[in-house]
């Protein structure tokens, strides 16, 4: 079965069928009469919400989870919200399609371009060669191979694409460069801020696997990041000192701000702010680009008209 054109399928009243991919676990919600399912179909940079109103139909998804399905859908709209109503859905009957036929990605050249641009700017601002050498060793070790450069930054929300982790981290370096350039005091600590920024999410190579939750996802990426960085403890202390290493630990464990361990150092707070602005802006942009009507829904504010609305 051919892959369903998600954008075309959203035409109101249009009945279509095709192969679809569910990347993240859908949600069950309570309706006036019965429970119903809400989720998202993903195909490259297309992302469309679907709803399944009947339990016998959404039971298939509950039992099989994320993956490739064959679906019959109808383009629907309610209160100006466009979505697909699923009339029937079954696990694909053959293995001709895999999730890799659907997964979105950032081009490798684009990630390298952003990283090299950030590296050039930060080097001019005082980031040392020894810092870049350590970062190269840590992000390309035998333990993780090239996972840092391949894995996504999330399974939903921002940069939930192949190479999304390196993309997100490299964009953060660009933002960091602006902050360091704005404040001479930060230049004295450029190595710590650069290393902490680029490695803050390193544990996600253990939390995710091909944009899905890995086996031990529950030992979250902050804990796994601390565990992984410990492999380089002696090298980091030898290159800098123990205070630098402990500051780096504080960034990895506390960069989520109020969610999880809170920041305990100024360096961690700075990385948290950079992380927040980059991830949230990227999430807004991705949602608008994937939207069929150039509007997006933000939980705290409701519907927002897009830049091209």
- Which pLDDT value is given to residue 212? 82
For the segment 50-73, the average pLDDT, to the nearest whole number, is 96
CA distance 1 to 13: 22
Buried b (16+ CB within 10 A) or exposed e, 103-112: bbbbeeeebe
- Which pLDDT value is given to residue 44? 86
For the chain, percent of residues with pLDDT exceeding 70: 100
Residue 103: pLDDT over 90: no
Q: Which of 115, 272, 131 is nearest to 192 (CA)?
A: 131
- Which pLDDT value is given to residue 161? 87
pLDDT band for position 284 (cuts 50, 70, 90): very high
For the chain, percent of residues with pLDDT exceeding 90: 79
Give per-residue pLDDT as tens, 252-279.
999 988 887 899 999 999 999 999 999 9
Give per-residue pLDDT as tens, 118-152.
999 999 999 999 999 999 999 999 999 999 999 99
Asked if 113 contacts 48 with a C-beta cutoff of 8 angstroms, the reply is no
CA distance 84 to 77: 8
CA distance 99 to 159: 17
Least confident span in 153-167, 171-185, 227-241: 153-167
| Statement: the pTM of the whole predicted model exceeds 0.85 | no
Q: Is 227 helix (H, G, I), strand (E, B) or coil?
A: helix
Query: What is the average pLDDT score of the chain?
Result: 94
- Which pLDDT value is given to residue 87? 98
Domain locations along the chain: 6-99, 104-303
- Which pLDDT value is given to residue 237? 99
Q: Which has more confidence, 13 or 100?
A: 13
User: Which residues 6+ apart lie within 8 Å of 92 measured at CB?
Assistant: 1, 19, 68, 69, 70
Q: Is 198 helix (H, G, I), strand (E, B) or coil?
A: helix
- Which pLDDT value is given to residue 1? 85
For the segment 182-209, the average pLDDT, to the nearest whole number, is 97
pLDDT band for position 160 (cuts 50, 70, 90): confident
Fold observed for domain 6-99: OB fold (Dihydrolipoamide Acetyltransferase, E2P) (2.40.50)
CA distance 274 to 288: 22
- Which pLDDT value is given to residue 213? 86
């Amino acid at each position: 079965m051919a892959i369903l054109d998600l954008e075309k399928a959203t035409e109101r009243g249009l009945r279509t069928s095709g192969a679809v991919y569910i990347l993240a676990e859908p949600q069950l919600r309570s309706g006036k009469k019965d429970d119903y399912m809400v989720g998202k179909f993903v195909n490259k940079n297309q992302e469309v919400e679907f709803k399944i109103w009947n339990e016998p139909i959404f039971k298939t998804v509950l039992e099989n989870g994320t993956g490739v399905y064959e679906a019959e859908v109808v383009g629907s709209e309610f209160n100006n919200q466009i979505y697909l109503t699923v009339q029937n859905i079954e696990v694909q009957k053959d293995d001709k399609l895999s999730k890799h036929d659907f997964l979105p990605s950032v081009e490798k050249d684009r990630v390298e371009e952003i990283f090299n641009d950030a590296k050039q700017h930060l080097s001019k601002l005082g980031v040392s060669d020894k810092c870049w050498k350590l970062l190269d060793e840590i992000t390309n070790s035998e333990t993780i191979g090239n996972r840092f450069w391949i894995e996504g930054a999330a399974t939903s929300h921002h940069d939930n694409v192949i190479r999304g982790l390196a993309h997100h981290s490299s964009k953060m370096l660009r933002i960091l460069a602006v902050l360091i350039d704005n404040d001479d005091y930060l230049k004295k600590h450029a190595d710590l801020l650069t290393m902490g920024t680029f490695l803050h999410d390193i544990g996600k190579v253990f939390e995710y696997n091909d944009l899905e939750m890995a086996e031990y996802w529950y030992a979250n990426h902050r804990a796994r990041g601390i565990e992984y960085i410990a492999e380089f403890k002696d090298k980091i202390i030898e290159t800098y000192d123990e205070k630098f290493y402990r500051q780096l630990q504080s960034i990895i464990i506390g960069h989520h701000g109020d969610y999880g361990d809170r920041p305990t150092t100024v360096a961690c707070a700075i990385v948290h702010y950079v992380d927040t602005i980059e991830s949230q802006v990227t999430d807004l942009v991705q949602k608008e680009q994937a939207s069929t009507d150039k509007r997006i829904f933000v939980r705290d504010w409701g519907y927002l008209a897009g830049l091209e609305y």
